[in-house]
Chains A and B, each alone.
Chain A
Amino acid sequence: MTLMELLTQSLEIIVAVAAAPLFLGWINQCRAWLQNRRAPSVLQPYRTIRKLFHKDAVIANTASPLFRITPYIVFGAMTLAAAIIPSMGTRLPFTAAADAIALVGLLATARVFMALAAMDIGTAFGSFGARREMMVGFLAEPALLMVIFVASLISATTSLPAISEHLATAALGLYPSLAFTAVAFTMVLLAENARIPIDNPATHLELTMIHEAMLLEYSARHLALMEWAAALKLFNYACIGFALFVPWGLAAGAVAPTALLVAIPLLALKLALAGSALALVESVSAKLRVFRAPEFLATAFMFAVLGLLVHLLLGA
């Protein structure tokens, strides 16, 4: 563990935490442009978070301690996830302790705590949201694992940095299996981050909301942490996608400061492109009824399994 590796590790965490709201702001801006609206500033998510932090927290008097610690746990889990995902360099000392399966487990931990906290107050919306979130989760999580398994089978490791290093340095061949899994991954990303067509982050329509329903009882700093963690989750998913499907430009091998200088702008570029693509997908698709969500996610799961079969058949 050299000083440079530690530096990369901390830089990844700091950049993720700092830039996640910006990424969200950028997506919102692109969406507004596509929908012929006047766009809010890209900095709007920061302002929202700042405003929330300054407010007094209003908590239901029936809340248990679980309700109050959950925002910190969710935020901490998402930050740790940022440390595991190779967004800039692949020499990350902490990834020895947590591979891709542990990453999926970490995301699941955050989800379970969020669902439990949503059930804690005992309102109708909270438990509704928890139920729906867990429904999305039990379909999306295996699909995400399958996506990761295909990449691990190709590169013979479950360590995420090693996977992206392998895929980045391997001869630039075509992996048909990865094409299937990329589709599956995009669908999982949309579902897990409460985007259209599974959930709409912009509305509070009681019949369809999932993520927002779980946050209804949160306010002020707790809500700020939850919103920030959601932005961080989206950022993390985007980075998982880059690590699996477009790993080029990561500072691989022994890290030199110059490699990081290339990796950081490249990450910004990838995020900008991914953000506008996400906005486009969201703008052209319609929100599904909640009970169509299992079909959507089962399709994602099938795509991932198909990718696996293609890999095993073709060996690529």
Chain B
Amino acid sequence: MSALPVSPLSACLGLLAAWGIIGVAGLVRPMSVRLSGRLLFLAGAVCGLALALVSLWALELPPEQLVLPIGLPDLPFHLRLDALSAVFLLLLGAASVGISVFGAGYFRAGEGTAPGLLCLQFHLFLASMGMVLLADDAYAFMFAWEVMALSSYFLVTTQHRIAEIRRAGFLYLLIAHMGALAILLCFGVLHGGHWEFTFAAMRAGHLTPLWATIAFLLAFAGFGAKAGLVPLHVWLPEAHPAAPSPVSALMSGVMLKVAVYGLLRVCFDLLGRPLWWWGLIVLAVGLFSAVYGVVFAAVQTEMKRLLAYSSIENIGIVCAGAGLAMVFAGLGMAPLAALALIATLYHCLNHAFMKGLLFLGTGAVLHATGERNLGKLGGLMRYMPWTAWLTLIGALAISSLPPLNGFVSEWLLLQAFLFTDQIPRAFINMLLPLGAAVIALSAALAAYVMVKFYGVIFLGAPREISLMEARDCGMLERLGLIWLAAGCVLLGLAPVQVLARLNAVSTLLVGTGVGQHAQQWWLLAPLVEGRASYGPSAFFLGVLALVLLTAVAVRIFYHRRVRLTGAWDCGFGPLDSRMQDTAEGFGQPIRHVFQPFFRIERELPSPFDHDPKYRVIVSERIWYALYEPLARIMRRAADSVAWLQQGRVTTYLLYSFITLLLLLGVVLA
């Protein structure tokens, strides 16, 4: 392979530049859906595929560096492609193929931003995410990070004529910048007084434990805000529903993972070996986010909000894995750290595919019905079979059911949790298996959420007459969905092959990989021989064989007679679609069991009301406990500064004069 004329890094750069060019090309005819929608998005998908292939190749190679003489004078961009970047580039490329192909069929004229401009923002967003992954100095990193935040902000506010969407976009931009500030400060700490902002210098620098901890906390806050960890998650349930579905898919599936990449890069690479108790913090926040996210997902009544909360859950699981890896790495238990780290990366890959698939599925539903409220959907499996069956794969995968991909990462993570009985500190030994209990709980709750999501949208009777006119999505959209669904299936059935690739990352970060302790190529056995193994392909074949055997046996020994008739109405007369369980009703057990999580406002009718109304509003306590007091304090501070503005020129001249005097004093002293 090395005989090829290009290196992987330059190939990656070329592809990112191609994305940029495709974006600019959209401006040639900004109103043309056919050019930007059909042609350019497909070209973007080809770039994504090439990027995925190149990064697969780069995974096998040693790290590669490059200095690009662009940017400010004397501040060239340093770029580096190592295994960690390559895995996330692979995620970016592979997930974007499906999303771009879907986008090619999805975007229509007349929905907010002009298609050509949207094309520019979309591809700039893709290219900037790639640049974040390649950056090897703080300048390049922050530059790409900001381009990513801004381009995604414009994508979120595609339908900027709606006030709510502008508000959601503003909230997103605000928290993104708080995060960026924290990251900037983190780099400020990391350079350690040498004024060298390349990552190579940061790696070589030595910080005292106190400063290293400060850098870690800043990085955790900054990247956690972007990833959507509780309590900085509030932008996610606002921004995801506001954005067009392919953008939500990209943000949730890929951008959140770029934040995870940043966290891993700082904690495992730039800071050297993490301290073990940092891991406990990350683990605790991750586990809390996981349960918090899934509990709130269960009570949502808007399909994209539901998925946004589910993203918080999944990011929580990813962070729990990263935290566990940090605990192990900090205590010098490299093989276990490798296992936890690989489970983390695996879940990142999985989530990109399954959440992308689900968001695109909701996009197809949205275009077919114009409805995003679960209370007005239902029965779409009959009218949109392609979307329904492909989304089913995503729903089953995210519920971590075998043999699909969500189960593999859950399995690996649980194995990592179960191995903790060798930790020298007794109390961590006690605490960590409880983490396994939380992971199990959130996985089971995810199944609950997905049954609600899928059942209410696609099954049952349509809750509105107009739904019967819903038509399935077009060919390109189907292709996009198929690509992501195939990813879910493949990542589920071939974990051994995926693990072999991911080993390069854990070798880079914690010094060792995870072994393969089985002779069979299809059997996943990452630990000591005989400890645990899982063979998804055999498992799948087993289920398939038994299901087919049952079906054939029933056919042969009995008959296939079927009579079609109306549903059983208990003899009370015809059923109608409003008798089905609603989305609110389906969330009711969760409201009951997890009551302390919610702030519930109820409006109950009295028996004498002529027009009785029952209303219940479930919201997050965090708005009232944290954000509103914070906003009040800010407003008060701003008010108290306001008296400086007297509105008279003489006063302002006086300010200038005093400042001048003070400066003179400083200069003279």
List chain A positions with a Cβ less than 8 A from chain B.
53-54, 56-62, 64, 66, 72-73, 75-77, 79-80, 83, 94, 96-99, 101-102, 105-106, 108-109, 111-112, 115-116, 119-124, 126-128, 130-132, 134-135, 137-139, 141-142, 145-146, 149, 152-153, 156-159, 162, 216-217, 221, 225, 291, 294, 301, 304-305, 308-309, 312-313
Name 29 A/B residue pairs within 8 A (Cβ), A-sorted. Answer: A57-B561, A58-B564, A59-B565, A60-B566, A60-B567, A66-B459, A75-B547, A80-B539, A98-B539, A98-B542, A105-B401, A112-B447, A116-B455, A119-B580, A122-B577, A123-B569, A124-B575, A130-B455, A130-B581, A131-B452, A131-B581, A137-B447, A149-B437, A157-B532, A158-B415, A159-B531, A217-B568, A308-B433, A308-B434
Given the interface pairs A99-B534, A108-B399, A217-B567, the reply to whether A122 lies near B543 with Cβ below 8 Å is no
A149 touches B554 (CB 8 A): no
B564 proximity list for chain A (CB < 8 A): 58-61
Is A122 a contact of B461 with CB atoms below 8 Å? Answer: yes
Q: How many residues of B contact A (CB 8 A)?
A: 83
Which chain B residues border A59 with CB–CB below 8 Å? 562-565
Contacts of A96 in B (CB 8 A): 518, 520, 523, 533, 535, 538
- Whether B602 sits at the interface, judged by CB under 8 Å, is no
B579 and A58 within 8 A (CB): no
Q: Which residues of B contact A79 (CB under 8 A)?
A: 546, 550
Q: Which residues of A contact B562 (CB under 8 A)?
A: 56-59
* Residues in B neighbouring A221, C-beta threshold 8 A: 554, 558
B580 touches A145 (CB 8 A): no
* CB closest chain-A residue, reference B298: A138
Q: Which of B411, B414, B444, B533 contacts A97 (CB 8 A)?
A: B533
Other than A58-B565, A75-B550, A112-B396, give 18 A-B pairs with Cβ distance below 8 A: A57-B561, A61-B564, A76-B544, A76-B546, A76-B549, A94-B542, A96-B538, A97-B535, A98-B534, A127-B580, A134-B451, A141-B440, A141-B444, A142-B441, A216-B568, A225-B554, A294-B593, A304-B437
Min CB distance, A201 to chain B, in Å?
A: 20
Tally inter-chain residue pairs, CB-CB below 8 A: 249
The stretch from B262-270, B378-386, B478-486 touching chain A is B378-386
Q: Are B460 and A61 in contact (CB under 8 A)?
A: no
| A123 close to B580 (CB less than 8 A) | yes
Q: Are B455 and A127 in contact (CB under 8 A)?
A: yes
A119, B451: Cβ atoms closer than 8 Å: yes
Contact with A along B50-69 (1 / 0, CB 8 A): 00000000000000000000
Residues in A neighbouring B567, C-beta threshold 8 A: 60, 62, 121-123, 217
Q: Enumerate B328-383 residues with CB–CB distance to A below 8 Å.
A: 378-379, 381-382
Task: State whether B539 touches A97 (Cβ < 8 A).
Answer: yes
Nearest residue in A to B552 (C-beta to C-beta)? A72
Q: How far is the CA of A138 from the CA of B421 in the complex (A)?
A: 27
B residues bordering A, Cβ < 8 Å?
378-379, 381-382, 392, 396, 399-402, 407, 410-411, 414-415, 418, 421, 429-430, 433-434, 436-437, 440-441, 443-445, 447-448, 450-452, 454-456, 459-461, 518, 520, 523, 530-536, 538-539, 542-544, 546-547, 549-551, 554, 557-559, 561-569, 575, 577, 579-581, 585-586, 588-589, 592-593
Give min CB distance, A198 to chain B, whole Å: 13
Q: How far is A309 from B429 in the complex, measured between Cα atoms in Å?
A: 10
Q: Are B550 and A72 in contact (CB under 8 A)?
A: yes
- Which residues of chain B have C-beta atoms less than 8 A from A159's C-beta? 530-533
Q: Which chain A residues lie closer than 8 Å to B430 at the CB level?
A: 309, 312-313
Q: Are B460 and A121 in contact (CB under 8 A)?
A: yes
CB of A122 within 8 A of CB of B580, answer yes
The residue of chain A having its C-beta at the shortest distance from the C-beta of B546 within the complex is: A76
Contact B581 A127 (CB under 8 A): yes
Q: How distant is A248 from chain B, measured CB to nearest CB, in Å? A: 21
Please determine whether A97 and B534 come into contact, CB atoms closer than 8 angstroms. yes
| A124 pairs with B554, CB closer than 8 A | no
Residues of B within 8 A of A130 (CB): 451, 455, 581
Closest to B294 in A: A138
Q: How far is the CB of B325 from chain A (nearest CB, A)?
A: 20
Q: How far is the CB of A94 from chain B (nearest CB, A)?
A: 6
Q: Are A106 and B402 in contact (CB under 8 A)?
A: yes
Contacting residues, chain B, for A308 (C-beta < 8 A): 433-434, 437
Of listed B382, B535, B549, residue having the most chain A CB within 10 A: B535
Say which residue of A80, A101, A105, A138 sits within 8 Å of B546 (CB atoms). Answer: A80
In angstroms, Cα B410 to Cα A137, docked, is 18
Beta-carbon nearest neighbor of B406 in chain A: A105
B551 touching A72, Cβ below 8 Å? yes
For residue A136, which residue of chain B has the nearest CB?
A: B589
Contacting pair B402 A102 (CB below 8 A): yes
CA distance A94 to B541 in the complex (A): 11
Q: Are B589 and A99 in contact (CB under 8 A)?
A: no
Closest to B589 in A: A135
CA A294 to CA B441, docked complex, whole Å: 13
**Which chain A residues border B382 with CB–CB below 8 Å?**
62, 64
Q: How far is the CA of A132 from the CA of B538 in the complex (A)?
A: 32
Residues of B within 8 A of A73 (CB): 543, 547
A135 to B449, CA, bound (A): 10
Tell me the complex Cα distance, A72–B549, Å: 9
Nearest-CB distance from B268 to chain A (Å)? Answer: 27
Q: In angstroms, how far is the closest chain A Cβ from the Cβ of B433?
A: 6
Closest Cβ of chain B to A41, distance in Å, is: 23
> Is the beta-carbon distance between A138 and B534 smaller than 8 angstroms?
no
| B565 adjacent to A157 (CB under 8 Å) | no
Contacts of B392 in A (CB 8 A): 66
Contact of B455 among A115, A141, A156 (CB under 8 A): A115
Taking the nearest CB of chain B, how far is it from the CB of A292, in angstroms?
11
Within 8 Å CB of A122, what residues of B?
378-379, 459-461, 567, 575, 577, 580
Most chain B Cβ neighbours within 10 Å, of A54, A59, A138, A221: A138
A53: which of B433, B441, B558, B563 is its contact (CB, 8 Å)?
B558
* 9 tightest A-B CB contacts, nearest first: A97-B535, A127-B581, A122-B461, A122-B460, A76-B547, A119-B455, A97-B538, A142-B440, A76-B546
With A96-B523, A99-B533, A157-B530 as known contacts, state yes or no: A56 contacts B563, CB within 8 Å.
yes
Please, how many angstroms separate the alpha-carbon atoms of A126 and B581 in the complex? 9
Q: Which chain A residue has the least Cβ–Cβ distance from B561? A: A56
Bound-complex Cα distance A132 to B452 (A): 12
User: In the complex, what's the smallest C-beta–C-beta distance from A76 to chain B, in angstroms?
Assistant: 3
- A225 and B550 contact, CB distance less than 8 A: yes
Contact B580 A134 (CB under 8 A): no
